[in-house]
Every structure is written in structure tokens, then in C-alpha cells.
């Protein structure tokens, strides 16, 4: 059988439950769990990948402060990993960041290697303004301050 077609787009309110389930299925496996209410109220931040009616991947672009935005909640169902879905989701979030006038993207990740080819490189936490760090995901993480994530960052060129 041929590879089923993957479609990409912005999430709708009706997707919130399935996105929430997907995110929380990776608890302890690289993605911080979230309550349903948080996904629902920030649904406009999410991009999704679908195969047919099934959501197989998601990512959120969260605007932080002072030109910074954060990539959050990137997850691709195990069965569909390695097919370029995660890369495409990051690219979509980056494109929107560019259109919004975001200057710097950050993310906290246990998998910095995955992001390297997308130009997001590991940086010192001290290199990010304190007010941005205070508002970023990391500080609210249930594992903070023992979280093993690396901070990665890249500049967004706004032409
Ligand atoms: C990380 C994740 C989102 C990648 O999604 P994906 O759809 O499998 O990724 P893609 O198919 O677009 O890209 C795969 C590429 O990244 C590479 N890659 C994947 N994980 C990697 C890692 N931990 N380190 C280095 N490279 C990695 C693959 O080798 C592959 O390289 P290639 O394109 O040269 O063959 C997915 O594995 C996932 O959901 N993991 C569990 C949750 C998680 O850790 N989320 C990230 C939180 S920041």
C-alpha cells in the first residue's frame, strides 16, 4: 500500500481533545503534559498533521515577549515518526513566526539533534533575556529546576 497522504494545517477547537491526548501520551518521553483547558484556550497556537481524520502530529508557536516566541508541544505519533512530519510542523511554525515579525525562536528540548538541521542550535540559558525566560515554558515545567532539557534558539529573518 502507498504511504497515506499527510495534510497540515491550523488546529480548530474541535481538535483540542485529540491534541491534548497526543501531547499527554508523550508524558515522560520528551513532552510536558498539559491540561485540556490549556490546549483549548491556546488552540490558535497549534498546527496539526493529519492522516485522514486522525491527528498524527502537532506543534504550538507561543509568543513570549520582546520579539521572542517559543516552540512547544511538538509530538508525532510513534507509528508515523521518521516520515518528515515533525520537520514540516517546525517549518510551518517558523513560517508563521516570520510572518508575525518574531525575531528569535526558542525551545526547550531533550532532542536538540533533531532541531539542528532546522538551524536551531543549543545556547546558554544566560543568553536569553531574564524576562523572556521567566515567561517561557521551562520555569513552569513540573520538572523544573531538574529538567534535563537543553535550550535551543535561532534568529528569524524578517525580509
Ligand atoms: C522528535 C519528533 C517530533 C521528530 O518527528 P519526526 O516526524 O519523527 O521527524 P522527521 O521525520 O521530520 O525527521 C526525522 C529526522 O530527524 C532525525 N531525528 C529524529 N530524532 C532525532 C534526535 N533525537 N536526534 C537527532 N536527530 C533526530 C532523524 O534521524 C531524521 O533525520 P533525516 O531526515 O536525516 O533522516 C518525534 O520523534 C517525536 O514526536 N518524538 C517524541 C516526542 C518528542 O520528543 N518531542 C520533541 C519535544 S521538543
Q: Where are the domains of the chain?
A: 6-155
Summarize pLDDT for 124-144 with one digit per residue, the tens: 999 999 999 988 876 666 666
Summarize pLDDT for 71-121 with one digit per residue, the tens: 999 999 999 999 999 999 999 999 999 999 999 999 999 999 999 999 999
- Rounded distance from Cα 70 to ligand 1 centre (Å): 18
Residue with the three cell numbers 520555569? 139
CB crowding 107-129: b at 16 or more within 10 Å, else e? bbbeebebbeebebeeeeeeebe
Give the pLDDT band (50/70/90) at residue 145.
Answer: low
Q: How crowded is residue 133: how many other Cβ atoms within 10 Å of its Cβ?
A: 19
The three-class DSSP label of residue 42 is: coil
109 ligand 1 Cβ < 6 A: yes
103 ligand 1 Cβ < 6 A: no
Q: What CATH number labels 6-155?
A: 3.40.630.30
Query: Distance between CA 138 and CA 64 in Å, rounded?
Result: 12
Q: Which residue has the higher pLDDT, 4 or 98?
A: 98
Amino acid at each position: 500500500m502507498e504511504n497515506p497522504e499527510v495534510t497540515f494545517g491550523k488546529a480548530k477547537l474541535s481538535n483540542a481533545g485529540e491534541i491534548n491526548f497526543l501531547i499527554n501520551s508523550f508524558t515522560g518521553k520528551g513532552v510536558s503534559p498539559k491540561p485540556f483547558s490549556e490546549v483549548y484556550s491556546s488552540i490558535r497556537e497549534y498546527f496539526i498533521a493529519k492522516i485522514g481524520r486522525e491527528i498524527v502530529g502537532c506543534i504550538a508557536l507561543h509568543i513570549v515577549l520582546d520579539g521572542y516566541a517559543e516552540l512547544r508541544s511538538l509530538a508525532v505519533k510513534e507509528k508515523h515518526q521518521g516520515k518528515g512530519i515533525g520537520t514540516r510542523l517546525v517549518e510551518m511554525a517558523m513560517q508563521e513566526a516570520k510572518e508575525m515579525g518574531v525575531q528569535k525562536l526558542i525551545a526547550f528540548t531533550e532532542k536538540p539533534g533533531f532541531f539542528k538541521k532546522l538551524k536551531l542550535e543549543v545556547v546558554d540559558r544566560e543568553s536569553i533575556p531574564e524576562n523572556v525566560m521567566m515567561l517561557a515554558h521551562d520555569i513552569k515545567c513540573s520538572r523544573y529546576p531538574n529538567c534535563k532539557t537543553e535550550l535551543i534558539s535561532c534568529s528569524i529573518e524578517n525580509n
